[in-house]
Structure formats: structure tokens, C-alpha cells
Structure 1
Amino acid sequence: MSSDRTYHHGDLRRAVLTAALDVIRTEGPAALSLRDLARRAGVSHAAPAHHFKDRTGLLTAIATEGYALFADALAGAPDLRERGVRYVRFAAEHPAHFQVMFQPALYRTDDADLLAAKERASVELRAGVDGLPSGGGDDARLTGVAAWSLAHGFATLLLTGNLAGPVGDRDPEEVFRALATPVFAPDGSS
């Protein structure tokens, strides 16, 4: 019966998230529409609202999932430079999450699940600063900002195609590692 397909879905939440990530990856977050995502999932236009309430709820779920995946990707990196490499890898492997995560105007910044996932990711990011010579107080925070700027800037330039010429056929992770080594080598050497 075709009405069953319209109203019953094995994992509608995951299907809508997957479809949303595809749209964001190809067209950007502005192209998201719950009605279109419902059509793609083969459900009624109102069905996604049961899981996400609205577009902002969907984007909050994407950001939350992104930060959780990001924290997992960073976990266990031996030093700040390797956290940067994993940052770049995460952006390349999860470009739609990456686009949403760093645009807080798109989602509910006070969502409890989001805040917990962001804190986990922040802990993993900060862990790399501890091994550096400047590892205390304001210096550590500024070192963390510098590291974040380098990794985030590189990842953003990579995703937007702005590094195609300079990176060429080389592995972007290896290029980032070479750039970051003189700046963030744990012993200050390159």
C-alpha cells in the first residue's frame, strides 16, 4: 500500500539528516527545505517536523552530530600539529557538517546536546596546546587560537577549492603537516 510508504519509515531521522547533508554538500545550507527533504525521503511533508520541529532544529542536529564526530576525530592525537591534521581530515570527510558547525546563526546555540558536543570537541582541541612550551595561561589560549586559525583557514580554503593550485596533487594532510611543523612542533624545532 503506497500510503504506508508515505507515513512509515525505518529511520526517518537518519534519512532526513543524510538527505540534508547531501543538499548542504552540493548546494549549501541555504538550499535546505524540510518539504524537499520529506520528498526525498518519501514521506509526508510534515513528517520531518516530528524529529526536528523546523529547519533550525534540523541544522542544530547536524551541528551537534558534527561536533560529536569532530571530537571523535581529534581524540588521541599525539600533539597539536596532528590535531590540526585531523581537523583538516575531518573537514574533507565531513564538508556539510563543517559548513554548519561554524555558522552559529544557523542553529540553536543554547541546545543542551549541542553544547555538550561542542565542549567535548573543545577539550580535544585544547589538549594539544598542553604539550607546547607556552602551555600556560593566556599564552596557551593564544597558541590555541593560532593553531585553530591555521587549521580552520587551511580546511576552509581546501573545501572552497582555493588550494587547488598550491596543493596540486599532493596530499592536503601532508601539506598541512609541513606548514604546521615549524609553527607547532612540540619542542619548538622544525
Structure 2
Amino acid sequence: MESESSLRERLIDVGVDLVMTEGSASLGLREIARRAGVSHGAPRRYFPTHHALLSAIARRGFAGLETLFAAATGGTTSPRGQLHALGRAYVGYALAHRGMFELMFRHDLLDSEKHGSDQPRLRESTLPLFELTVGLVADYRAEQAVARRPFAPSDTGPPPAVTAAALWANLHGVAQLWAWGSLQLALDAPPAGGTPDRDGLDPVVAAVLDAHLGPVNA
């Protein structure tokens, strides 16, 4: 007989597969239960609310993004290089997994309470990724200070957390506007296709870093 914990994970697995293949609109409780091969009421035994199940599915998305970040930054040790790799990975994930990305940042899930679940709020899943960015911004500034480059970011600038927040917001906006086709229209670039256009996106990601960290050769 299947244990309660394995059935709980199977419900999440089904939800992840649904959102990846059919988008966030497909994540109804009845459809998840049907595909998991359980009764319509079964999910309520493991998730007190629909939001609790959606949060568990979205938490898998953050775990996947964290794994992607680790792989993306493995090829460089410089803080600036790692921030560039994170930026490309973030925007690339958003475009390749639009349904999951939309679910991960749904305000009603991020701003909600626990919904009776024993899991932490979904918002807390964003903290490790944000703290990684803050640390890299701080490391880059320290590296620049040692190099004594003119026009390098100084200690009088915004705190690293503020710069990291602005960087994150900018990259998130790039991902959304690229997915909608707005940036391609503004830049006279080819419309978005099934896979992210790296040649078109990389200069935009580089410009975001220049805007918040200063030009790389400054």
C-alpha cells in the first residue's frame, strides 16, 4: 500500500508535470487528483487548501531554479561572472518554463499565510536565491575596491541588498517583457519562439548588470 508521504509527493509530481506541460491554468484539484489516480477529495487529506498544494508545486520550481543557478555559476569564480550567469539562467528559466515561473511568483501564494499547511510560506523559498545575489554584489564591490578602479561602485552607494533587489526586479522585468514580445518589438528583434533567443537576450542581461554594477571595464 502506498504511504501517505509518497502519495503526497505523487500529487506534487503530477502538479509539476501539469504546470510544465499545460501551464498554471491547468492546476485544478480535480484534474490533479484524476491524473494521480485518486478520488477528487484525496488531495484535501494532504493539503488543507488548494493554495497549499499550489505552493508545494511552486516550491519545486524554486528548488529547480536553485539547482540551475548552481550549475550556471560553476564555470566561473568571479562575482561579476557569476552574477551574469545567474541573470542569464533566471531569464532563461522564466522563458523555458513560463507556467512554473508564473506560479512561483503569484502574489496570492507569496503573500498568503500557511493555509493550514505545516510548510513555510512560499515567499521564504525566494530568500536563499536573493541572499546569494546579495552576497555576490557585496563580493564584487569588495573586489572593485581592492582594484581601486576609477568610477567603481563605492561604499556610499546603495547597500548590497538594495542593489540586488533592483537587479532582480530588472531581470524579472526583462523576462516578462521578452515573454510578451514587447522587448523584441522595441529592439526590432525576432519574435519570441519556443526557445530563448540567447543572442538577443545576452546583451540585455549584460546591460542590466552594467546599469546596477557599473560597466565591466570601468
Unaligned runs of 5+ in 2: 74-80, 142-151
Unaligned runs of 5+ in 1: none
Q: Confirm or deny that 1:134 pairs with 2:153.
A: yes
How far apart, in 2, do the equivalents of 1:118 and 1:183 lie? 20
Q: Which residue of 1 aligns with 2:165?
A: 145
Structure 1 183/114 Cα, relative in aligned 2: closer, same or farther at 3 Å?
closer
Q: Confirm or deny that 1:159 pairs with 2:152.
A: no
How far apart, in 2, do the equivalents of 1:139 and 1:32 lie? 39
- Aligned-pair CA distance for 1:37: 1.2
Render the CA deviation track for 1:124-167: whole Å, top value 9, x for unaligned. Answer: 23233221443756253443233213311122233345456524
Q: Confirm or deny that 1:79 pairs with 2:73.
A: no
Which 10-residue stretch deviates more, 155-164 or 122-131?
A: 155-164
Which 10-residue stretch deviates more, 166-175 or 120-129?
A: 166-175
How far apart, in 2, do the equivalents of 1:109 and 1:174 lie? 41
Render the CA deviation track for 1:26-59: whole Å, top value 9, x for unaligned. Answer: 6654543212211122211122223322211111
**C-alpha RMSD of the superposition:** 3.5
Corresponding residue to 2:129 among 121, 138, 158? 121
Q: Confirm or deny that 1:49 pairs with 2:44.
A: yes
| TM-score, length-scaled by structure 1 | 0.73
Identity of matched residues, %: 28
Q: What amino acid is the match of 1:39?
A: R
Render the CA deviation track for 1:3-30: whole Å, top value 9, x for unaligned. Answer: x9xx889943344334334544566545
| TM-score, length-scaled by structure 2 | 0.66
Structure 1 182/162 Cα, relative in aligned 2: closer, same or farther at 3 Å?
closer
* DSSP-derived class of the 1:155 partner: helix
